[in-house]
Amino acid sequence: MPTNRKLVILNQASNYLTIGFANAFKKEFDEVVLMTGSVHVQGEELDSQIKIQSINRWYESPASKKMKSYLLAMFKMWWLLMTKYRKHEVYFVSVPPMGYLLNIFLPHRFSMVIWDVYPDIFKITGMQESHPVYRIWAWLNRRSFKKAYRIFTISEKMAELLYQYVSPSKVLVQPIWSIFQDNKKVSKSENPFIQEHNLQGKFIIQYSGNIGLTHNVEALVDIAELLQNETNILVQIIGRGPRKAVLERVVNERQLPNCQFLPFQSDEMFPYSLGAADMGVVILDESTSKGSVPSKSYNLMSYGIPSLYIASEDSQLALYADKYEHGKCFKKSDLQAAADWIVEVAKKPEEMKRMSENAVAASSDFKRANADKFVAAYCQESN
């Protein structure tokens, strides 16, 4: 391994995954700098030897403030890399989503992890491939990826989508990992979240995450309507986002007492809210089903929670359901079938137990050791 190697990791909003990357790289590099606007620790702490270079924070809303924060972060990243960190290698992780395009204008050895495939993800909003923004971003992707040192992505299906921009030989597929390395799910009788919200005796179908314009949580409200006569089944939606108020109004208009909204839970309560779920819901828009894999998928596996996926047949989620048999994937047009399946398995404890055990077994493919595999692949290529 060469010595005196220095690396800057770019992520405006660093979470447990970025911390994992930074700690893994610190084992192999003499200096690791994390250039970020915030660090959210969930479990693994950041190695104290890793330097933090502060930039502006990321804002979730409103959209105009969010875009301004992205552009300011892009400028600060570019300026700092051209002045203070000119000799460092660069590893881009996630935010701003267009941040990896900086490599077009930088002389550094620049690598990236692609979490969401842009501009393809814009199809969720109805944007066509002929739209000028789409066409320009696609053109920039080809230039950026051609120049990149290494390109990582997290699933086979996402890699297939990237091949339209870059040779398959340049793309490395490496899954990420869950926040939770062990199944520490407590029984419902001991779960403070269950007690706080009086959920004893309920079979809980839970979505936990962002409720934005592109998250299609409407599908779960539709399922709640189909299940409204199943009094023991509760559809629970935890999170925040611009669509939350709209969906709450829809639930009130349809008079669905079996659909409950709750705010994002604290880091301390999150293990208990997650552990309260009998079944976890992950939704991918079918217009770009190969474009991403929500990290919540892996958290559910770690806690042995069977999954209900709402996604297309060519999505990574459908592939997971077939491979691990820890849940089932339904298309958005098959919500009645999804509701029927929920009713069926809720009455079959042995089937739920089988899927739970399969989920735990599947989680072994998504452990923290995967961060070391990213770094090993990076270093192997650099020798």
Domain count, the chain: 2
Q: Identity (one letter) of the amino acid at 249?
A: R
Mean pLDDT over the full length of the chain: 94
152 with 114: CB under 8 angstroms? yes
Same domain, 236 and 169: no
Residue 10 has pLDDT above 80, yes or no: yes
Same domain, 196 and 115: no
Same domain, 128 and 47: yes
Full domain range(s) for residue 89: 6-177+367-379
Residue 38 lies in a domain: yes
CATH number at residue 228: 3.40.50.2000
Q: How confident is the model at residue 61 (pLDDT cuts 50, 70, 90)?
A: confident
Residue 271 lies in a domain: yes
Residue 33 has pLDDT above 60, yes or no: yes
Cα 350–365–203 angle (5° rounding)?
Answer: 30
Same domain, 253 and 126: no
Residue 88 lies in a domain: yes
* Helix (H) or strand (E) run with residue 283 in it: strand 279-283
Residue 239 lies in a domain: yes
Strands 171-173 and 203-210: unpaired
Alpha-carbon distance of 62 to 329, in angstroms, equals 33
- Residue 286's pLDDT is 83
Alpha-carbon distance of 241 to 227, in angstroms, equals 24
Same domain, 162 and 13: yes
Same domain, 342 and 301: yes
Residue 325 lies in a domain: yes
- Residue 383's pLDDT is 46
Same domain, 124 and 212: no
Q: What is the pLDDT of residues 176-205, one digit of tens each?
A: 999 998 888 999 999 999 999 999 999 999
Nearest alpha carbon to residue 5 among 89, 80, 77, 91:
89
Q: Identity (one letter) of the amino acid at 177?
A: W
63/299: higher pLDDT: 299
Same domain, 202 and 150: no
- Residue 63's pLDDT is 82
Cis geometry, peptide bond prior to residue 132 (ω within 30 degrees of 0): no
Percentage of residues of the chain with pLDDT beyond 90? 85
213/95: higher pLDDT: 95
Residue 101 lies in a domain: yes
Same domain, 60 and 39: yes
Same domain, 30 and 123: yes
Residue 183 lies in a domain: no
Q: What is the pLDDT of residues 319-352, one digit of tens each?
A: 999 999 999 999 999 999 999 999 999 999 999 9
Q: How confident is the model at residue 281 (pLDDT cuts 50, 70, 90)?
A: very high
Residue 223 has pLDDT above 50, yes or no: yes
Residue 290 lies in a domain: yes
Same domain, 123 and 228: no
- What tokens appear for 31 in the block? 């200096």
Rounded to two decimals, what is the model's pTM? 0.91
Same domain, 303 and 336: yes
Given CA atoms 296, 297, 299, 305 in this order, what sign does their dihedral have?
positive
Residue 380 has pLDDT above 90, yes or no: no
Residue 3 has pLDDT above 90, yes or no: no
